Amino acid sequence: MIRPANDKRVYKEILLENGIKVLLISDPSTQISAASMDVGVGSMSNPENLLGLAHFLEHMLFRGSKKYPETSKFVDYVVKNSG
């Protein structure tokens, strides 16, 4: 990774069991936390017989989960914790 000499952040890359690569960035000079997810596919990845599939899956990323069954609960948790 190419970084400017004055970049004091700490970077760590990990690989999850499901094959997803995660880049963790720690910046002790800030008091704000953030999370971001980049999915390297889009509408150009749709199979010919399933146009719109990428858009559908995008919406599935924001559905509930076992831990946060209501769609707003995870966002509420993040906001409550200054995210």
Catalytic positions are: 58
Q: How many CB atoms lie within 10 A of CB 36?
A: 6
Q: Where are the beta strands (DSSP E) in 16-50?
A: 21-26
CA distance 63 to 58: 10
